[in-house]
Amino acid sequence: MNCQEALSLLYDIIDKEASEIDTRQVQEHLSRCRDCFDKYELEQSIQGFIQAKLENDQPALKLDGLRAKIAGKLDAIDGEARVHRRRSPFRIASFSLAAAALLVVMIGAASLISDFVRHNERLIPLERAHWSARENPQAFSADNPGSALIARYHDNLRYELHHQVNDFTLVGAMTEEIMGVEMGHFVYSNNGSVVSVFVAPADRFDIPGDLKDNEVVRNNLHFFDHNCRGCRLVFHQQGSVVIITATNDTSVELLEFIPGHMAI
């Protein structure tokens, strides 16, 4: 297991949603790779802090109390880091957490955590669906890949997908329920590089509002770009459909990856 594969599973490990095999392989990788171990420790600490805040049924903590909790968390992290090694760049990770915690104090923990939760709910399920396709593209393979589903979206939503996009070829498709919405998941491949294309009805799925500041206009299409956790997502809408492209391959320019067009 390489670093990218291990990091893509971190949230599943932290949330205890990973399989026993994946968990064991990630743990073996973390025992050998200090950079990934530091990333895991930082993510786990942030998740724990947020979960504790969400589970607190009291009104918002007073500022002094919140500062004290943050300071205690940072002390605990630094103590754990010293157990693993005497001199460690992990202090950089602790500093990052300190900066994030200060931001929580400055603008209000409740608001920031709410945004974080919305991000998890609206974006991470799409990333996980892409990672699954990337790890097991044969699950999408078919003798006549995607033709029936392409015809369905053409007839029902007037959107026509291409079998070939740039140098990528459609290798298969299926419908998946993601965030309560049935989407078409089309998988394109080129020499081991994989791009997922999700097609959702525009009346059932909205492009997340927090991406509006990342708008890019190309070829009269409005794209909304997002990078996180080693996976890039690009959203755009054509008529009655929202199209989301996803890949973990940084060499693929998703703003140039147009999988279809509105049918007449």
Identify whether residues 199 and 252 lie together within a single domain: yes
What domain range includes position 217? 140-262
DSSP state letter for 163? S
Q: CA 220, 229, 97: angle at the middle one, nearest 5?
A: 120
β-pairing verdict for 241-247 and 193-201: antiparallel
- CA 5 to chain CA mean position, Å: 13
β-pairing verdict for 221-228 and 181-190: unpaired
Confidence of residue 38 (pLDDT cuts 50, 70, 90): low
Number of H helices, E strands in the chain: 9, 10
Considering only 34-43, 69-78, 250-259, which range has the smallest mean pLDDT? 69-78
Among 122, 148, 167, which residue terminates a domain? 122
Please tell me the predicted confidence (pLDDT) of residue 67: 53
pLDDT at 182 over 90: yes
Identify whether residues 99 and 46 lie together within a single domain: yes
Domain count, the chain: 2
In a domain, 73, yes or no: yes
Q: What is the pLDDT of residues 98-141, one digit of tens each?
A: 555 544 554 455 455 555 555 556 788 898 899 888 888 777 76
Identify whether residues 64 and 172 lie together within a single domain: no
Backbone φ, ψ for residue 113 (5° rounding): -65, -40
CA distance 123 to 186: 17
In a domain, 224, yes or no: yes
Asked if residues 241 and 205 have their Cβ atoms less than 8 Å apart, the reply is no
Identify whether residues 149 and 205 lie together within a single domain: yes
Which stretch of DSSP H or E encloses residue 110?
helix 109-122
Identify whether residues 207 and 237 lie together within a single domain: yes
Strand ranges in the chain using DSSP code E only, listed in sequence order? 159-161, 164-165, 168-178, 181-190, 193-201, 215-218, 221-228, 231-238, 241-247, 260-262
pTM above 0.75, yes or no: no
Please tell me the predicted confidence (pLDDT) of residue 146: 78
For position 144, which CATH number holds?
A: 3.40.1000
